[in-house]
Amino acid sequence: MIEEIRKDAEARMGKSIEALRHELAKLRTGRAHPSLLEHIRVDYYGSEMPISQVANVSVGDARTLIVTPWEKNMVQVVEKAILTSDLGLNPATAGTTIRIPLPPLTEERRRDLIKVVRHEGENTKVAIRNIRRDANQHFKELVKEKEISEDQERQAQEQVQKLTDKYTAEVDVVLAEKEKDLMEM
């Protein structure tokens, strides 16, 4: 019983780290990366589709993304979706290919992005602590139902605390990597 709760907590904490990595991948650093456009949705014959399902997104060079829609009549629709996105990018169309030059980040914008990164990190730490709280609550219920002893509960809580410390430290490592990435010129 204790082991199941601990494994569940560990799996959920791991998912929190993955969610953080996924969120941070959307933040723009100085380099072009296809995941920058991942959250953009395109109107495809009346339904909203992710850009990756209507076009191929690739990296041209360090500061250029290349988007090639699979259908010729989707070029303008995809270009408009990129233009109206919250990324502030200016796509340039050449035939059926859309080139997206990424402007260099200003120092002020980098500082703003670091604040966003730290906020995401703090949210992830809160999620991890909430998972710890849930696991500890399960242990308390088991003691109340006399399925485990108080000593077993204490040991289980210590194990979950070690997991919490481990994953919180991993959040710090992920944040440090992203901040370093953002500050590179």
**High-pLDDT (> 70) share of the chain, %:** 97
Q: How many CB atoms lie within 10 A of CB 36?
A: 22
Q: How many CB atoms lie within 10 A of CB 90?
A: 13
**High-pLDDT (> 90) share of the chain, %:** 34
Residue with more model confidence, 85 or 48: 48
Query: What domains sit in the chain, N to C, each tagged with a CATH number?
Result: 2-26+106-183 (1.10.132.20), 34-101 (3.30.1360.40)
Pair of tokens at residue 100: 């997206």
pLDDT band at 89 (very low <50, low <70, confident <90, very high): confident
Taking a C-beta distance cutoff of 8 angstroms, is the pair 84, 102 a contact?
Answer: no
Taking a C-beta distance cutoff of 8 angstroms, is the pair 87, 28 a contact?
Answer: yes
pLDDT band at 175 (very low <50, low <70, confident <90, very high): very high
| pLDDT for the residue numbered 125 | 95
